[in-house]
Structure 1
Amino acid sequence: MPTNEQRRAAAKRKLERQLERREQRAKRARLITIIASVTGVLVVVGAVVATVIITNKDSANTASASTTTSADPGAPQPAADGKLPPFAAPAGLGQDCQYPAAGEASRKVNPPRTGKIPMDEAEISVSMATDQGNIGLMLNNAQAPCTANSFASLAGQGYFNDTPCHRLTTSDSLSVLQCGDPTGQGTGGPGYEFANEYPTNQYQPDNPALQQPVLYPRGTLAMANAGPGTNGSQFFLVYKDSQLPPNYTVFGTIDETGLATLDKIAGAGVEGGGQDGPPATKVQVKTIQLD
C-alpha cells in the first residue's frame, strides 16, 4: 500500500502533467492565433472573468468581502432578480494570475505558478475524503482559473490533508461548511493571497449591487476572504440555498455524494446548539486529490 508521502508525490506529478498539457495546448492556440492574424482572419470574443467568497480571518459571523478586480465595462450586467449574474467566457488564451506573499503560511507550501493560466480544460475533478464521508468536487477552471489553479496546487502538495473543517452555519440565510485552514481557528492561510473572480468582477467596483445578497445555490463551492484581494486557502461548501453579497468567488460544484455527506454533518448541528460555530460532529479532511 502506498504511503501518504508516495500518494502526495503522485498527486503532485499528476498536477504537473496537467499543467504541462495545458501549457502545450496554450502554445498551439497562440500559434493558431498568429497565423490567423497574418491571413487577415480576426475573431473578436467579448469576455469577462468573474469571482465570489466568505471570511478567512476569524469567521464568527457572516463574512464581509469586497471586489478586488475591475469589471469589464462591456460585461453583462448582474441580474436584478437576486440570482448570480450570467457568466461570459473570457477572451484570449488565459487569465493572468498573481499570488503575492501575505503573512506566514499555516503549513509549509509553495505558491502556485503565476502568469497566464490556460482555460481550455474547463473542469477539473477533485476527490475530498473526510472522516464523515466523501465529497466529490468539480472545479470550474473556465470560470475561476486563478482560484482553481491555487486550489489544485495546494491539493497536490497535501496542504489540506489532515485538517479540520472549523465552521458550520445553519441559519435560514446561510448554510455552509467551511474548511481549508490547517490551524482550525479560521485565521490560517497559505502565505499568499489573490484576487476575486466570478461573480465579483461582473460588477463595477462602485455598483451598490455588490452589497446586496444574491443566491448561492445548494451545491456551490466558493472561497472565503477577509476583504479585497485576500483569498487564500479557506473555502466553503454550500449545502442549502444561501444568501450572500456577490463578493465570494464561486469556483466549483459539489456532487450528490458530497451533498449527502454535508447533510449528515449539518443534521448534527453546531457545537453548543447555536447556528454558527464548530460543527457538533467533528469533521477532519483526510485528503483532497485531483482525479
Structure 2
Amino acid sequence: MASSRDRQRKLARAKLDRQMARRAAATRRRRQIQAGVGAFLVLAVIVAGSAWALGAFDSDPKKDTAAGDTCLWTPQDASANTNLKDVGTPATKDLPTDGTRAMTVTTNQGAPITAELNLANSPCAAASIAHLSSRSFYDNTKCHEITADGALRCGDPSGTGLGGPTYSFYDEDVPTVPSASPSATPAPGQPPTYPKGTVAMISNPPGANGSQFLIFFKDFTTTDPKYPVIGKVTGGLDVVEKIGAQPTVDNGTGAKVKPKTDVVIQSLTVGEPVTGAAPATSGAPATSPSAG
C-alpha cells in the first residue's frame, strides 16, 4: 500500500501537470490572438494602401482652396514701411494664364505708351497690374528714375523706390543667360538679355515684386538677370526713348537718377485678356509718333 508521502508526491505532480497544461493552453491562445491581430493589421495596411493609390484619401476639392490657386500674394507690413499703400489684393484663382492683356500708360510726355502683358509667362504680374490699375493706384504718380541699365522706372506712388501695395509676389519670367565667362562679361554675340522695349518688374529686395516696373529704352545685356519680364512695348517707344535721353538730377538722396522733367503717369489701364493671342516678339517693338 502506498505510503502517505507517495500519495502527496502524486497529488503535487498532478497539480503541477494541470498548471503546466493551463499555461500551455494560455500561451497557445495568446499566440493565436497575436497572429489574428497581425493578419488583420497586414490586411488593413493593404486595403489602406490600395485606397490611397485610388485617391480615396484625397482632400475634398471644395475644401482644398490652395489646389486651384494661380497666384500667391504675400502680405507686407504697412506699419513697417509707410511707403506702402493698401488697395486690397488681387484674386488668387481663376486668373487668365493664356494670351495677352493690353496695358496703356498715358503720361505728360506725349503719346500713350502701349504694351502687351504676357499671361502665359507672367500671369501673376499681369493680374497684379490689372488689379492696381482698377484701383487707380498708378494714376498721377511719377516715374522716379532713369536707371543705369537703360530703363525708365515707374510704379511707386511714393517716388522713393520703396513704395508699392501691401502685398508682394514671386518672380515669374527671369531671363536665362549662357554661363558667365571668367571675367563676368557677356559672351561675344550674345543677344541682349533685355531688348529695347522690354517691360519688366523691379523690386527691393529682388523676388518681392509689388507695383514697380521698368520699360527699357535701349538693349541691356547682363550675366546676372534680376528683373522678371512681363511684356513688350507695342507703341510709343519713341516717347520712352525721349524720356531716357533727359538729363537726371538728384532725387533727394544724393543719387542723380531722377528725370530733370517730371514724368507723370496720368493714367494706367489694362484691357481684358485676349485668349490665344501671341505675345509681342522679341527685338525692337513698334513705335508710335510722339505728341510732343
Q: TM-score, normalised by structure 1?
A: 0.58
Instruction: Kindly indicate whether the alpha-carbon contact (under 8 Å) linking 2:115 and 2:235 is maintained by their aligned counterparts in 1.
Output: no
Q: Is residue 2:217 matched to residue 1:223?
A: no
Tell me which residue corresponds to 1:102: 76
Q: Point out where structure 1 has 5 or more consecutive residues left out of the alignment.
A: 1-92
Tell me which residue corresponds to 2:108: 131
Tell me which residue corresponds to 2:132: 154
Q: Report sequence identity in percent.
A: 35
Q: CA deviation at 1:191?
A: 0.8
**Per the alignment, in what secondary structure is the counterpart of residue 148 of structure 1?**
helix
Instruction: Kindly indicate whether the alpha-carbon contact (under 8 Å) linking 1:132 and 1:283 is maintained by their aligned counterparts in 2.
Output: yes
Q: Relative contact order (C-alpha < 8 Å, sep 6+): which is higher?
A: 1
**Per the alignment, in what secondary structure is the counterpart of residue 127 of structure 1?**
strand
Q: CA deviation at 1:228?
A: 4.8
Instruction: Kindly indicate whether the alpha-carbon contact (under 8 Å) linking 2:129 and 2:270 is maintained by their aligned counterparts in 1.
Output: no
Change (3 A) 1:161 1:219: same
Q: Is residue 2:151 matched to residue 1:176?
A: yes
Tell me which residue corresponds to 1:144: 122
Structure 2 counterparts to residues 190-205 of structure 1, below 5 A: 190-199=165-174
- Report the RMSD for the aligned CA atoms in angstroms: 2.9
- The 1-side partners of 2:74 and 2:225 are apart by 23
Q: Is residue 2:239 matched to residue 1:261?
A: yes
- The 1-side partners of 2:201 and 2:219 are apart by 16
- The 1-side partners of 2:264 and 2:103 are apart by 17
Q: CA deviation at 1:290?
A: 2.1
Q: CA deviation at 1:128?
A: 0.7
Structure 2 counterparts to residues 209-288 of structure 1, below 5 A: 215-244=193-222, 245-257=224-236, 259-271=237-249, 277-288=257-268
Instruction: Kindly indicate whether the alpha-carbon contact (under 8 Å) linking 2:162 and 2:204 is maintained by their aligned counterparts in 1.
Output: no
Structure 1 runs (4+) deviating above 6 angstroms are none
Q: Which amino acid counterpart does residue 281 of structure 1 have in structure 2?
A: T
CA offset digits 1:175-234 (Å, max 9, x no partner): 00000000011110101111001126x69xxx976x986620000000002235310111
Q: Which amino acid counterpart does residue 177 of structure 1 have in structure 2?
A: L
1:118 corresponds to which of 77, 82, 96: 96
Instruction: Kindly indicate whether the alpha-carbon contact (under 8 Å) linking 1:95 and 1:146 is maintained by their aligned counterparts in 2.
Output: no
**Per the alignment, in what secondary structure is the counterpart of residue 131 of structure 2?**
helix
Tell which structure's C-alpha radius of gyration is larger: 2
Change (3 A) 1:276 1:238: farther
**Per the alignment, in what secondary structure is the counterpart of residue 178 of structure 1?**
strand
Q: Point out where structure 2 has 5 or more consecutive residues left out of the alignment.
A: 1-66, 187-191, 272-292
CA offset digits 1:47-101 (Å, max 9, x no partner): xxxxxxxxxxxxxxxxxxxxxxxxxxxxxxxxxxxxxxxxxxxxxx987210010
Instruction: Kindly indicate whether the alpha-carbon contact (under 8 Å) linking 1:97 and 1:146 is maintained by their aligned counterparts in 2.
Output: yes
- The 2-side partners of 1:249 and 1:95 are apart by 21
